[in-house]
């Protein structure tokens, strides 16, 4: 059987005098090595990308984190400086990939910005600068140039008994590396909470009526997938779901 292909939405970046469609290596490496799939970066060309044509050719979708945030107009709020920075073309492509993956039963893993996009795509809202809210922790990335320090596992989340995530990493306390200043506010109707931080921040969700694996996490399992057992387990579970989907599609094609 062919190796499965997973769509990964690009971010728009400008450096060295060029506009780039790019994705951080952490996610690409985790997909290739940790999940055992071929990551295919989908350019963030807004409406110029035929997302249905992309989804016809892939076996899963990985929605990555990013330095940008979902534009607040997509969840009914006015733009403020605290909501930014933005990448509207990424929003368009990511939300379409999320909708398409869920409708088609393609396995979906959404990380950091990805879980926020998943919530917005399904009708939820986001809170910004959550460290300013009463009794909330500071989930923001530490000020350091050393990546291992920035992405260090630093606080626990409580994984709900009987959840999809509990079947992957176990129920109860799991230590994670959340790095965010926005988070889910109103939960989308089609999502269920899989894990919360001690301050009540929603840290993981799944799609209630999904036909396949469809999980979002607010932390960064891609960074320590080689050495951290829960991080590696999440990518392995995603990879297994993608291969299962490809195997099913192959059997349908052979029997047709």
Cα-only R_g, the chain: 17
Q: Where are the domains of the chain?
A: 5-255
For 26-53, the pLDDT digits (tens) are 999 999 999 999 999 999 998 889 999 9
Euclidean distance between CA atoms 163 and 159, whole angstroms: 8
Residues forming the active site: 112, 220, 222
Euclidean distance between CA atoms 133 and 128, whole angstroms: 9
Give the pLDDT of residue 138. 86
38-42 vs 5-9, strand pairing mode: parallel
Euclidean distance between CA atoms 44 and 12, whole angstroms: 7
Helix locations, the chain, DSSP H: 25-29, 51-55, 88-104, 113-121, 147-150, 166-169, 229-255
Give the pLDDT of residue 75. 97
Q: What DSSP letter does each residue of 126-182 carry, written as one string?
A: EEESGGGSTT----SPPS-S-HHHHT---EEEEEPTTSTTHHHH-SEEEEE----SE
Domain spanning 5-255, CATH class: alpha beta
Q: Give the containing element (helix H, strand E) for 191.
A: strand 191-197
DSSP label at 187? P
Give the pLDDT of residue 142. 87
207 CA to centre of own chain = 13
Of 94, 52, 226, the residue nearest 86 (C-alpha): 94
Euclidean distance between CA atoms 142 and 150, whole angstroms: 5
- Dihedral (CA of 67, 170, 7, 53) sign: negative
Intervals of the chain under pLDDT 50: none
Q: Which residues of 92-116 are buried (b: 16+ CB within 10 A; e: fewer)?
A: bbbbbbbebbbebebbbbbbbbbbb
Structure tokens, 154: 């630093």
């Amino acid at each position: 059987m062919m190796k499965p292909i997973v769509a990964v939405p690009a971010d728009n970046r400008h450096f060295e005098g060029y506009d780039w469609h790019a994705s951080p290596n952490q996610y690409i490496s985790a997909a290739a090595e940790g999940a055992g799939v071929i990551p295919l970066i989908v350019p963030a060309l807004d409406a110029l990308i035929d997302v249905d044509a992309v989804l016809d050719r892939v076996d899963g979708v990985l929605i990555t984190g990013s330095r940008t945030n979902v534009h607040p107009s997509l969840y009914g709020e006015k733009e403020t400086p605290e909501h930014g920075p933005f990448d509207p073309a990424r929003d368009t492509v990511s939300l379409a990939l999320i909708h398409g993956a869920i409708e088609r039963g393609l396995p979906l893993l959404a990380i950091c910005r990805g879980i926020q996009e998943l919530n917005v795509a399904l009708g939820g809202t986001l809170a910004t600068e959550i460290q300013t809210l009463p009794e909330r922790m500071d989930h923001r990335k530490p000020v350091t140039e050393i990546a291992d320090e920035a992405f260090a596992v630093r606080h626990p989340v409580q994984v709900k008994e009987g959840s999809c995530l509990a079947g992957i990493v176990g129920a109860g306390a799991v230590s994670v590396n959340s790095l965010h200043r926005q988070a889910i506010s109103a939960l989308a109707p089609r999502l269920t909470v899989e894990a919360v931080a001690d301050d009540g921040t929603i840290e993981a969700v799944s799609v209630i009526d999904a036909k396949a694996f469809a999980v979002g996490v607010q932390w960064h399992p891609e960074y320590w997938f080689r050495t951290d057992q829960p991080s590696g387990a999440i990518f392995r579970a995603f990879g297994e779901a993608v291969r299962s989907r490809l195997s099913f599609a192959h059997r349908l094609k052979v029997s047709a």
